[in-house]
Amino acid sequence: MSLTESIIPDDRVDKLTNEEISRYSRHLLLPQIGLDGQEKLKAAKVLIVGTGGLGAPLALYLAAAGVGTLGIVDFDVVEESNLQRQIIHSTRDIDRPKVASAADRIKSLNPEVKVITHNTRLTSENALEIIEDYDIVADGTDNYQTRYLVNDACVLLGKPNVYGSIFQFEGQASVFYAKEGPCYRCLYPSPPPPGLVPSCSEGGVLGVLPGIVGTIQANEVIKLIVGGGNSLIGRLLLFDAWEMKFRELKLDKDPGCPICGKKPTIHELIDYEQFCGLKPDHEEEPVETIEAKELKQRLDAGDKIQIIDIREPHERAISPFAGAKPIPLGQMTRRIGEFDDTEDAVFLCKVGQRSVFAIRALQEAGYKGKLLNLKDGVNAWARDVDNSLPQY
């Protein structure tokens, strides 16, 4: 869909200075952008949700393009594992708030850009207040509850939502703008069950992939600001970096959509953790845990313990756990006969999250033996017991 008109009102546009004309001269030479379009970029206010893999190229390219005001929302700090793909941060920024690191990098690239930092988690309580001040939202988040939150807030406020997501080698991008086309709920009416789709920290991601998808998002933001071009409104762009293939799906507005349909039933922000199944409707029996140091003590004492490593072979090769029996999560219930219910069984994964699903699967299958989850997974073992192993 083509939006020929810019979303930036003319009465907010200011003339460019001579210095700005010099900086953005390559834009000014493009008739599709020109002086008018660059002035609209200067007047625009864009909120980037997340300063990770997608937010990094978004922030850098929008700053370089001359977007006048960039808001960045993030509550996290920079970790070493971020640096493989989150190019807005550097090694010296480890343990700094991501918004502080990103703001410094943006200002070093383009001092003319006004940067507004929101060092907080976006929630149902603050999303409308934060988003209201911006023209466009660019969603660089990595979890379903925040994606639905951003979508609903943008629909309620009438803002375009420039969407991107990544996993391993695959990426998606679209523009959800309920005034002109479908919203995120039209594409995904409900989230997947918790744990079905691993996060990037568990499933991995090719480092250059967020750079590709994030720059596509930046391109869509620029087109919305200057007007013209064929927008991704009503289209979902799919990219496979491993096969180097692009595909496109046509998206239609769902007339029954609960927030942007003909008879909407959602008129305010909801509890998105509950909507995504992260708050169970009933009390679940807690999974019993064991600390890495306690497990080491029991093993040294000669206790008979079954140690079950649910990771896939390529992941076990990164940080092997000696003596563990490998049973991938997907094989758990059909290999229930391999367990001895007279011995405690300790389950482990990278950080102790996926192993919870393995334990629950066995419990639901009727296993009666004692099941323990290694708290914080093999990373805790590497940190607290065997420092020769890497944390990843």
Instruction: Give the pLDDT confidence of 237-248 residue by residue, as tens digits.
Output: 999 999 999 999
Order of strands across the sheet that contains 371-374:
289-290, 371-374, 344-348, 305-309, 325-326
Q: What percent of the chain has pLDDT over 70?
A: 98
Q: Taking Cα atoms as reference points, which of 244, 226, 168, 230 lies closest to residue 199?
A: 168
Instruction: Give the pLDDT confidence of 311-352 residue by residue, as tens digits.
Output: 999 999 999 999 999 999 889 999 999 999 999 999 999 999
Which residue among the candidates 154, 183, 257, 349 is catalytic per the annotation? 349
Instruction: Give the pLDDT confidence of 264-290 residue by residue, as tens digits.
Output: 999 999 999 889 887 655 556 789 999
Nearby residues of 51 by Cβ (< 8 Å), 6 or more positions away: 59, 72, 74, 86, 88, 89, 98, 99, 101, 102, 140
pLDDT of 62 reads 98
Residues linked to residue 164 through DSSP beta bridges, in sequence order: 173
Vertex 232: Cα angle to 230 and 236 (nearest 5): 140
pLDDT of 281 reads 52
Q: What average pLDDT does range 31-57 have in this prediction?
A: 97
Backbone angles phi, psi at 120, to 5 degrees: -160, 160
Q: What percent of the chain has pLDDT over 90?
A: 90
Q: What average pLDDT does range 354-362 have in this prediction?
A: 93
Q: What average pLDDT does range 122-128 have in this prediction?
A: 97
pLDDT of 79 reads 95
Vertex 126: Cα angle to 117 and 284 (nearest 5): 115
List the structure tokens of 287: 């999974």
183 given a catalytic annotation: no
pTM, 2 dp: 0.85
- List the domains of the chain with CATH numbers: 10-275 (3.40.50.720), 289-384 (3.40.250.10)
Q: What average pLDDT does range 75-91 have in this prediction?
A: 97
200 given a catalytic annotation: yes
Which residue among the candidates 154, 200, 257, 260 is catalytic per the annotation? 200
Instruction: Give the pLDDT confidence of 170-208 residue by residue, as tens digits.
Output: 999 999 999 999 999 999 999 988 767 777 777 889 999
Mean pLDDT of the chain: 94
pLDDT of 333 reads 92
pLDDT of 194 reads 75
pLDDT of 283 reads 58
**Which residue type occupies 227?**
G
Residues linked to residue 235 through DSSP beta bridges, in sequence order: 250
